[in-house]
Chains A and B, each alone.
Chain A
Amino acid sequence: MTTDNVLIKVDNLCKSFGDTEVLKGINAEIDKGDVMVVIGASGSGKSTFLRCLNLLEEPTSGSIYFEGVDITDFSIDINIHRQKMGMVFQQFNLFPHMTVLRNLTLGPMKLLKQTKEEAEANAMRLLDRVGLADRANAYPSQLSGGQKQRIAIVRALAMNPDVMLFDEPTSALDPEMVGEVLEVMKQLARDGMTMVVVTHEMGFAREVGTDIVFVDEGVIVEQGPPSEFFENPKSPRLREFLSKVL
Chain B
Amino acid sequence: MTTATVAHGRVSTLSRITALGRAELTLLLRSKASLFTVLFLPVIFTFAMRQPADELDLAGTGLTVGTVLVPASIGFVLIFAVYSNLVGVYVARREELVLKRLRTGEANDAELLSANALPSMIVALVQSVLLLVGGAAVLDLEAPQRFDLVVVGVLLGLVMMSALAALSSRFAGTTESAQLIPLPMMMVSMLGSGVFVPLEVLPDRLAEICRFLPLSPVMELVRGGWAGTLEGGDIAAALVIGLAWAVGSVLAVRRWFRWEPRS
Does B associate with A?
A: no
Question: Chain B: residues with CB nearer than 8 A to chain A?
Answer: none
Residues of A within 8 A of B (CB): none
